[in-house]
Amino acid sequence: MTTSLNRQAATVDPDRWPDVVALPAASALRTATARFLVRRALAVLPLSTALGGCETIGAGGPELHVHDPQPFFHRIGAGGLIGFGESYMAGEWDAPDLVAVLTVLARHAADLVPQPLQRLRGLCVPRQPTDQRNTPEGARANIRRHYDLSNELFGLFLDESLTYSCAVFPRLPARWSALKAAQHRKIDQLLDLTGVKAGTELLEIGTGWGELALRAARRGAHVTSLTLSARQQALAEARIAAAGLSDRARVELCDYRQARGRYEAVVSVEMIEAVGQEFWPEYFAVLEGRLRPGGRAAVQAITMPHDRMLASRSTHTWIQKYVFPGGQLLSTEAVQQLVTGYTRLKPAHQAGYGAHYAETLRLWRERFTARSAEVEALGFDETFRRMWTLYLAYSEAGFRAGYLDVQQFLLVKEDT
């Protein structure tokens, strides 16, 4: 595994993982307001919340242990949900079943703040920073922040196909031993939707570590795959060469907006989440522009409810700050509006796999936890490991709560 992962040192930058033990600045009023609102919400949620070992509130359910309420409320007062995540990173709260607690919170996300106060949301929640805009330069920086961390880090919790997107299982719940085949099942569905076969000219937007390109090349397709991650490119190219398929697949370090040529098929798996609302129309225009007449594009995308997308579209979130800078989810309604409003592509198929993503994330999270010592040996400290655990658990909870879904869309360009 070491050789196949092209061993490289981790690129952990202390400026990117701030010392969350140091409390951020927050006024006494903001801290008091956070204490009031959070206690009010926790008192009625189906949770059992222990505050400092002295008081337990809630309607009963999964346990949430707040070790020291003062910094917990202080951080939420300073940063809202970003502060909630930072408090976990700092070890100020824990849960025996983290996913269960986060699932409850996800199911009640729209009700945690009283309706009259939600009108003030724009005044108190942090706004998305302008330096995370997904311009061609910004997108490269954002992608490197996540995907260039360390190939070995991802190799510790992904299956041997190194596929970092939702798998499609034959049955649920899933087992680790079924993950690789389930990832291939997902890839094959997308290749079948777009009619990829021997001789097909295929454009992949978002290479990952090359498994889809490999699988398409093995069908006899000619694949051009685009990524902004130098480490992904290096490993994907090495895997393609090792398989003897370099004559059928190439990986370019290239922004989707700079793609050239026309193809019979385009596939893009969970890359649109890194595009940003500002550039969604351009992304779909690129899909249309890169397709030949009669061509087919398959897009796999994580989605959220349309009303929540609208309410949160300018908010800076914990996930954006620490895990996916510049990331933004869209809704199925937004996909439909963008396709019909900015292209002449015709929607031909749509299917959701949210329950499968919950299981995929569970398997990744359990693997990551089991290999914590190896993660540490790569140079990732406890703060990072808690951050990554929260990211995987938070995402799993979103799918279990139905707050998130993942969809496969097929879009067809007419012959005329």
| pLDDT digit string, tens, across residues 49-67 | 999 988 999 999 999 999 9
Q: What is the number of domains present in the chain?
A: 2
| pLDDT digit string, tens, across residues 74-114 | 999 999 999 999 999 999 999 999 999 999 999 997 676 65
Domain of 37 in residue numbering reads as: 28-124
| Residue 398 lies inside a defined structural domain of this protein | yes
Pairing of strands 405-412, 263-269: unpaired
| Residue 3 lies inside a defined structural domain of this protein | no
108 and 143 together in one domain: no
Give all strands (DSSP E) within 175-328, no chain letters.
201-205, 222-227, 249-253, 263-269, 291-303
Of 320, 251, 290, 410, residue with least CA distance to 81: 320
Determine the pLDDT at residue 109. Answer: 78
Please check the confidence at residue 13 and state whether its pLDDT lies above 90. no
Residue 296 neighbours by CB under 8 Å, 6+ apart? 193, 194, 195, 264, 265, 266, 348, 410, 411, 412, 413
Encoded tokens for 125: 């929640």
Least confident of 1-15, 16-30, 97-111, 352-366: 1-15
| Residue 1 lies inside a defined structural domain of this protein | no
Whole-angstrom CA distances from 298 to 113, 166, 234, 404 are: 38, 15, 25, 20
CATH code at position 377: 3.40.50.150
Distance CA 397, CA 101 (A): 8
| Residue 4 lies inside a defined structural domain of this protein | no
| Residue 22 lies inside a defined structural domain of this protein | no
Distance CA 408, CA 416 (A): 25
| Contact between 86 and 107 (Cβ < 8 Å) | no
Distance CA 280, CA 170 (A): 32
Share of the chain above pLDDT 90, in %: 85
> Where a domain ends, among 124, 148, 183?
124
Tell me phi and psi for residue 328, to 5 degrees: -160, 130
| pLDDT digit string, tens, across residues 326-375 | 999 999 999 999 999 999 999 999 999 999 999 999 999 999 999 999 99
Whole-angstrom CA distances from 282 to 187, 342, 346 are: 25, 8, 17
Please check the confidence at residue 20 and state whether its pLDDT lies above 90. no
Please check the confidence at residue 71 and state whether its pLDDT lies above 50. yes
**What is the pTM assigned to this prediction?**
0.93
| Contact between 220 and 245 (Cβ < 8 Å) | no
Other C-beta atoms lying within 10 Å of the C-beta of residue 314: 14
Determine the pLDDT at residue 131. Answer: 86
174 and 238 together in one domain: yes
| pLDDT digit string, tens, across residues 275-306 | 999 999 999 999 999 999 999 999 999 999 99
| Residue 401 lies inside a defined structural domain of this protein | yes
381 and 304 together in one domain: yes
pLDDT grade for 17, boundaries at 50, 70 and 90? low
216 and 102 together in one domain: no
181 and 316 together in one domain: yes
Distance CA 100, CA 64 (A): 10
| Residue 19 lies inside a defined structural domain of this protein | no
| pLDDT digit string, tens, across residues 138-165 | 999 999 999 999 999 999 999 999 999 9
105 and 247 together in one domain: no
pLDDT grade for 14, boundaries at 50, 70 and 90? very low
Determine the pLDDT at residue 1. Answer: 35
| Residue 15 lies inside a defined structural domain of this protein | no
> Where a domain ends, among 124, 157, 187?
124
Please check the confidence at residue 120 and state whether its pLDDT lies above 80. no
> Where a domain ends, among 124, 146, 175?
124
Residue with tokens 């899933």: 174
